[in-house]
Amino acid sequence: MRLNKYLATAGVASRRSCDEVIKEGRVTVNGNTVSDLSTFVDVELDKVEVDGRPVHVKTKDVYILLHKPLNYVTTVKDEKGRDSVIDLVRISDRVFPVGRLDYDTTGLLLMTNDGELTFRLSHPKFGVEKTYVAVLNKKINEQELSYLRKGVVLIDGKTAPCKAIKLGKEVVQITIHEGKNKQVKRMFRKLGFKVRELHRTQYGPLHLAKLKYGQWRNLRPPEVQALKKAVGLA
């Protein structure tokens, strides 16, 4: 099996994204770094690793909803040795976070080995909504909320219009459908605010419900179907 197909089948990412992972020198086969996209591997005999972690061809699709606690990274490997959400979900199947939540951000995190679904959920063209509750360092008024809703000009471009509801003097519920790096925090910073706490409550059709910090569960079939429908896979 060609290496990029192996990685995509294992749920690392879409096949196109796996090409980049290979070219970046992050993949080893039997201990040797491989950057040639034409490489083939034996599913039964070869040992494949990404960022030092073993990768196996999946036998089934796994979809997990995790309530991310504070002070966990959502990367597979962290140079600073910080705790990773990967360590919270101890199952035999290898799953990866869909997108990222900052180290100091809490809330709903989807994890799966479905590479194509991961790619589509992360791509802005599918417009999957993500809802957060932000606790600010000072009061916010309706004029500032209106400015936020229309989109904010950031260094990497103007954000798309969003939904923003005031829940308290210093608390705002904001729904976006893009995935710019640290987008919510930067949007508020542009308006002169600092986000003291940030918590994601919803991702597409998924809600946290009663899950406690650090707890996780498998998605129910209707939830998986709803996710796939949202990105044109069902």
Q: Which of 51, 102, 114, 156 is catalytic?
A: 102
- 69 vs 100: CA distance, rounded Å: 13
Q: Is 7 exposed, middle or buried (0-12, 13-18, 19+ CB in 10 A)?
A: buried
- The answer to whether residues 18 and 133 belong to one domain is no
Residues contacting residue 64 through CB under 8 Å, at least 6 positions apart: 89, 91, 95, 110, 111, 112, 216, 217, 218, 219
**With a threshold of 0.75, does the pTM exceed it?**
yes
Residue range of the domain that includes 223? 63-123+206-230
- 84 vs 82: CA distance, rounded Å: 6
- The answer to whether residues 145 and 167 belong to one domain is yes
Residues contacting residue 136 through CB under 8 Å, at least 6 positions apart: 170, 171, 172, 188, 193, 194, 195, 196
- The answer to whether residues 102 and 47 belong to one domain is no
At residue 128, the pLDDT reads: 95
Active-site residue flag, 19:
no
At residue 58, the pLDDT reads: 66
How open is the CA angle 36-16-78, to the nearest 5 degrees?
80
Total number of domains constituting the chain: 3
Q: What is the CATH number of the domain that holds 84?
A: 3.30.70.580
At residue 132, the pLDDT reads: 98
Q: Enumerate helices (H) and strands (E) in the chain, giving the number of each.
A: 6, 15
At residue 8, the pLDDT reads: 87
At residue 59, the pLDDT reads: 66
Q: What is the mean pLDDT of each run of 10 residues along the chain (234 residues)?
A: 89 87 95 94 89 82 97 89 93 87 97 91 92 98 97 95 98 95 96 98 95 97 96 90
- The answer to whether residues 110 and 212 belong to one domain is yes
- The answer to whether residues 114 and 210 belong to one domain is yes
40, two tokens: 């083939």
- 161 vs 147: CA distance, rounded Å: 10
Q: What is the CATH number of the domain that holds 35?
A: 3.10.290.10
